[in-house]
Amino acid sequence: MQPDFSELNRFLLDCPPFDLLSDDKRQWVAAQVKAVYLNEHNVDELFKNYSPALYIVRSGAFDLLAPDGDLIERLESHDLFGFPSLLSGRDVVNKLSVVEDGIVYIISAEVFDHLRQHARPFERYFIHAHEQRLLSRPGQTSPNFAAKKAGAAPAGVEGLGDGASLQRLVGEVVARQAVWLSSTATIQQAAQRMRDEKISSLLVVDDGRLVGILTDRDLRNRVVAQGLDPSLHVNAVMTQAPATIAAKQSLLDALTLMTQHNIHHIPVVDENDQPVGMLTLSDLIRQQKSEPVMLISALNRAKTRDELVHEARQIPEYIHSFAQRVNHAAAVGRLLASLTDTMTRKLIDLYEQNHGVAPAAYVWLAFGSQGREDQTLSSDQDNGLLLANDLNEKQLQWFAGLGEFVCEGLAACGIPKCPGNIMASNPDCRRTRAGWLERFRSWTEAPTPKALMYCQIFFDSRNVRGNKRLYQAYREDVAKLGRSEIFLGNLARLQANVQVPLGLFNRFRGTESGKDSDLIDIKRYGLALINDIVRLYSLHAGLTEPRTLTRLALLSNSQLLSKSDNQALAEAWQFFTQLRLQHQLAVWGTERPKNALDPDQLSTLSRRQLKSAFRIIKDCQQGVSLKFGRIG
């Protein structure tokens, strides 16, 4: 499509930084511009056919999405995107989603480079814009979704401190190509290669497939210490089928995975699972300096329960500081979940040191906010134990001791005990696979109102430590039970009966009692309701993923949940998490409620955004009621 030349020239004059160009240069640019009409059927072709390039939205609306589906920015007329890849030389990894069909102008890399070379103000504009993008909150859903509906101006982008590096993609940090050899190479050849390349680990690859990893620790512990012949093949001493991280995942994902497996090296793979490099703990330390890496490492180094508790005392102050710098609720939630996971695994290790290894297959389960990885400092424990079937009394007693030891240890580390006793120290939350399935079956086949309120938390589960096959089989069985139409219908009616705090004439209604009667609990009537709604659609679809935003991404092609409602729920969820984080930072160190706030203390824009978010929930409640509430 060739745009109208004179109209395009006028458009560019109103589109910074093209207004900085001379008339002749701007007219030259207009003659080079291509235009494409984008809709949901061809949007994926934009980056495939025209990349790298600078893109300008002429009409319509589009969402720029990170590889994990998080919203980076809502793009409307005159908005520009694509310049980070032009400036950095990296491949385009983000995706574009159509909100409203429209036209996008395309300026080729050659034209962009020419303008950078011959128009210094043009170049400075994009260098500054790129710096701001690097400092902006990655994956943030701007409250613009509500501001635009309310007719307000967009909110500004707040900056990050050093914590921003946790949101960088792994592929951006792995600078050198993968160093590898085949599994039939000798140990001596591997050691010589590691010496020559000045590396502490290498990949073992056969026919393009990653089969193992060899580290300097392997050479020390499995070769030198055992007196093995260095002419043996590498496959005799390598770590087989190692954990991997995708290049498009974040450093926080890598940190969580490395912490989970207590490893210092992790292979990096591309979208086709082909090895592309290695990420080491040293790489993370260079990125984060003395940030979460050091804190998690300190927790892992603890040799006793007392040492672990001592290190854990640093967490509240550190998280407060981290949250103030980053101001990104999703990053804070995932970091807290990672820290809780780390303490849990360390306590399990300490118990096994004193009582021997586990006598049977098991899984330590994280439920609720830890399971969803959206914890806050006010979150309490929600955990359980999944055990293999047919255990004898001695084995059951071993796991009873484990549950008691870990839950008491977490409480000492600052993670409060669950008021509802949803903890592995409770026999009801410490069951065999058959026992858990019997419990889920009772909930889904004969749901009482109390059971419905109680059981939802158990559908948001994650394997913190234990047998992967046992957990996967259990989770798939639970997903099947959760698809019961009677159960879903009762859940829908339960959710529809919760009234959002908007009264007559769209005014806020307080949700609390007594002296706090003007406050609104944004967790119970905001976040929790969104989690409940998204969980309902996930159960219907048979999903096993616990995280709310990931569930929504997996539901993008759902027949029941429209794309517009999907996007609205994601934006509202992120708005509530961000608002809650800001509120909790504001009341830090006081006795004021951590999840309830006074809407009159918010800015005019934030109040409009809050009303819009509640209206989204109300509309989705009605949708849930229509789709599920009449079942059964």
Same domain, yes or no: 31 and 107: yes
Q: Which amino acid is at 117?
A: Q
Asked if residue 9 belongs to a domain, the reply is yes
List of residues 6+ apart from 191 with CB closer than 8 A:
219, 230
Question: What single string gives the DSSP state of each residue in 431-484?
Answer: EEHHHHHHHHHHHHHS--HHHHHHHGGGGS-EEEEE-HHHHHHHHHHHHHHTT-
Q: What integer is the mean pLDDT of 352-367? A: 94
* Residue 510 DSSP symbol: -
Asked if residue 162 belongs to a domain, the reply is no
Taking the C-alpha atoms of residue 172 and residue 187, their distance in angstroms, rounded to an integer, is: 31
Inform me whether the pLDDT recorded for 297 exceeds 90: no
How many contiguous H segments (helices) and E segments (strands) does the chain have?
26, 20
List of residues 6+ apart from 64 with CB closer than 8 A:
71, 72, 73, 74, 75, 81, 94, 95, 96
Asked if residue 567 belongs to a domain, the reply is yes
pLDDT at 575: 93
pLDDT at 286: 62
Percentage with pLDDT > 70 across the chain: 89
pLDDT at 149: 38
Asked if residue 321 belongs to a domain, the reply is no
CATH number, residue 525: 1.20.120
Percentage with pLDDT > 90 across the chain: 47
Inform me whether the pLDDT recorded for 152 exceeds 60: no
Element containing residue 430 per DSSP (H, E): strand 430-432
Please choose, from the candidates 3, 30, 5, the residue with its C-alpha nearest in 3D space to the C-alpha of residue 111.
30
Q: What is the pTM of this model?
A: 0.62
Residues 556 and 127 sit within 8 Å (Cβ to Cβ): no
pLDDT at 287: 61
Same domain, yes or no: 131 and 225: no
Using the 3D structure, point to which of 238, 264, 288 is the last residue of a domain: 288
Residue 153's pLDDT band (cuts 50, 70, 90): very low
Taking the C-alpha atoms of residue 329 and residue 80, their distance in angstroms, rounded to an integer, is: 26
Same domain, yes or no: 498 and 620: yes
- CA distances to 296, 367, 382, 523, 568 from 379, in Å: 19, 11, 9, 11, 26
pLDDT at 77: 82
Q: What integer is the mean pLDDT of 152-158? A: 28
Element containing residue 630 per DSSP (H, E): none
| Residue with the larger pLDDT of the pair 119 and 504 | 119
Residue 14's pLDDT band (cuts 50, 70, 90): confident
Token pair 């259990």 in the structure block, residue? 474
CATH number, residue 248: 3.10.580.10
Residues 440 and 432 sit within 8 Å (Cβ to Cβ): no
| Residue with the larger pLDDT of the pair 294 and 392 | 392
Q: What integer is the mean pLDDT of 421-448? A: 94
Taking the C-alpha atoms of residue 6 and residue 410, their distance in angstroms, rounded to an integer, is: 67
Tokens describing residue 96 = 């574009």
Using the 3D structure, point to which of 135, 153, 182 is the last residue of a domain: 135
Asked if residue 146 belongs to a domain, the reply is no
Strand-pairing partners, residue 162, are none
- CA distances to 82, 140, 254, 326, 384 from 322, in Å: 30, 16, 18, 6, 29
Q: Which amino acid is at 122?
A: F
Number of C-beta neighbours around residue 450 at 10 A: 8
Q: What integer is the mean pLDDT of 393-414? A: 97
Taking the C-alpha atoms of residue 460 and residue 369, their distance in angstroms, rounded to an integer, is: 8
List, for residues 582-618, the tens digit of each pLDDT value. 899 888 888 899 999 999 888 887 888 899 999 999 9
Highest mean pLDDT (candidates 126-135, 138-147, 178-187, 420-429): 420-429
Q: Which amino acid is at 520?
A: I
Residues spanned by the domain of 235:
168-288
Taking the C-alpha atoms of residue 548 and residue 554, their distance in angstroms, rounded to an integer, is: 10
Residue 624's pLDDT band (cuts 50, 70, 90): very high
Using the 3D structure, point to which of 288, 313, 341 is the last residue of a domain: 288
Angle 381-457-517 from CA coordinates, rounded to 5°? 80
Same domain, yes or no: 281 and 212: yes
Same domain, yes or no: 183 and 96: no
pLDDT at 137: 38
Residues 328 and 157 sit within 8 Å (Cβ to Cβ): no
pLDDT at 509: 85
Same domain, yes or no: 194 and 117: no
Asked if residue 588 belongs to a domain, the reply is yes
pLDDT at 615: 92
Same domain, yes or no: 207 and 258: yes
List, for residues 511-545, the tens digit of each pLDDT value. 888 877 889 999 999 999 999 999 999 999 999 99
Q: What is the number of domains present in the chain?
A: 3
Same domain, yes or no: 14 and 94: yes
Asked if residue 591 belongs to a domain, the reply is yes
Same domain, yes or no: 114 and 9: yes
- CA distances to 191, 291, 421, 538, 560 from 384, in Å: 44, 30, 10, 22, 32
Inform me whether the pLDDT recorded for 147 exceeds 70: no
Same domain, yes or no: 197 and 107: no
Taking the C-alpha atoms of residue 440 and residue 455, their distance in angstroms, rounded to an integer, is: 8
Asked if residue 266 belongs to a domain, the reply is yes
Q: Which amino acid is at 456?
A: Q
Q: Where are the beta strands (DSSP E) in 199-264?
A: 201-206, 209-215, 239-240, 245-246
| Residue with the larger pLDDT of the pair 318 and 465 | 465
Inform me whether the pLDDT recorded for 411 exceeds 70: yes
Burial class (CB in 10 A: 0-12, 13-18, 19+), 371: buried
pLDDT at 8: 87
Taking the C-alpha atoms of residue 387 and residue 364, their distance in angstroms, rounded to an integer, is: 9
Inform me whether the pLDDT recorded for 291 exceeds 70: no
CATH number, residue 96: 2.60.120.10
Task: Compute and round to an integer the Cα radius of gyration of the chain.
Answer: 27
Same domain, yes or no: 624 and 486: yes
Residues 109 and 52 sit within 8 Å (Cβ to Cβ): yes
Residue 3's pLDDT band (cuts 50, 70, 90): low
Inform me whether the pLDDT recorded for 277 exceeds 50: yes
Same domain, yes or no: 115 and 194: no
Inform me whether the pLDDT recorded for 432 exceeds 90: yes
Angle 457-463-468 from CA coordinates, rounded to 5°? 135
Inform me whether the pLDDT recorded for 290 exceeds 70: no
Taking the C-alpha atoms of residue 216 and residue 194, their distance in angstroms, rounded to an integer, is: 8
pLDDT at 351: 96
